[in-house]
Amino acid sequence: MGIADHVLWIPPQNAAGMAAYIKACDVLADQFFLGAWGSTMPRALYLGTPAIIYVNESIHRWCFSEMPPIVNADSSDTVHAGLCRLADEGYRRELGAAGRAWYDQHHSNKIIIEGFSRAIRDVLMGSEQHRLQDAVRELRDTAAISRGLQEKQAVRERELREQQRAAFGELRDGRIASHDIQSALDTISSELQEIRAQLRRTATTIDQIGPMIPNMLRAQRLARFVFGPPFWFARFLYRRARRGAASHGASSSH
């Protein structure tokens, strides 16, 4: 291309060195085919350096109410047209100021920290709420099973009593043998034992789940306190008090 004598290759830089180079530039040229940005373009906007880059706005509208003020280019023709516009110093200055304002509103460390804090708070509180809902649902299902078993037991006991009365009546009338009655009574006893075992298992499940509810409620209240405004305000007052005490101590020493 005949531009080798106009290109300066520099070694990899740390964050401070990279920022110094970006700030010294008239224009930052990023990628022209991906349609997205990494950390370089926002850093240029923070430093007030106008950027030319390809941004596919359609895939970013879900998370940004306003697109970054950049020169958007995705072909050799649009790159050439963008560089011609950026040759105007006034336009570069205007674009640089708009870029810094966009960065402060949409991409600053403060905004990112607030976003992460909200996400962490939502996950923690959501997890506790889900656990609580699962426990309540399990208790409700267990209670329904228990009621069903109790109703089944009551119905079965009535049937067994009727069978017993019928068996004793037939025995009294001499219509069935004693060993047949014993076999019927053994079957009835086995069924009653199975019903009682099911009820014991249900009671054990309730005993295991029950103690979880207070702990979940306490954890949920703690999460709301730690991530809620009252804790932030208390922490703010504590820091102000510490600073005031430190300033007073320094003044006294003088």
Distance CA 44, CA 105 (A): 15
* DSSP symbol at 74: -
Average pLDDT score, the chain? 78
User: Which strands make up the sheet holding 51-53, listed edge to edge?
Assistant: 28-29, 51-53, 71-72
> Does pLDDT of 199 surpass 80?
no
Return contacts of 33-41, CB within 8 angstroms, 24+ apart: 33/74, 35/59, 35/74, 36/60, 37/68, 41/68, 41/70
Region 135-162 average pLDDT = 72
Q: Among residues of the chain, what percentage have pLDDT more than 90?
A: 35
The upper half-sphere exposure of residue 108, i.e. CA atoms within 13 Å in the direction of its Cβ, equals 11
Kindly report, residue by residue over 95-124, the tens digit of the pLDDT.
999 999 999 999 988 888 888 888 887 777
- Please give the pLDDT value at position 213: 58
β-partners of residue 148 are none
> Does pLDDT of 137 surpass 60?
yes
Q: What is the DSSP string of 96-150?
A: HHHHHHHHHHHTSHHHHHHHHHHHHHHHHHHHHHHHHHHHHHHHHHHHHHHHHHH
pTM for the structure as a whole: 0.49
- Please give the pLDDT value at position 44: 96
Provide the 3-class DSSP secondary structure of residue 7. coil
* Whether 82 contacts 73, CB under 8 Å: yes
> What's the distance, CA 34 to chain centroid?
28
Pick the range with the lowest mean pLDDT from 75-84, 155-164, 215-224: 215-224
* Whether 54 contacts 31, CB under 8 Å: yes
Instruction: Give the relative orientation of helices 89-106 and 76-86 as an angle to the nearest 10 degrees.
Output: 100
* Whether 142 contacts 167, CB under 8 Å: no
Count Cβ neighbours within 10 Å for each residue of 25-56 and write b for 16 or more, e otherwise. eebbbbebeebebeeebbbbbbbbbbbbbbbe
> Does pLDDT of 126 surpass 70?
no
Q: Where are the alpha helices (DSSP H) in the chain?
A: 15-24, 40-46, 76-86, 89-106, 109-173, 178-209, 212-227, 229-253
In degrees and rounded to multiples of 5, residue 38 shows phi and psi of: -110, -125
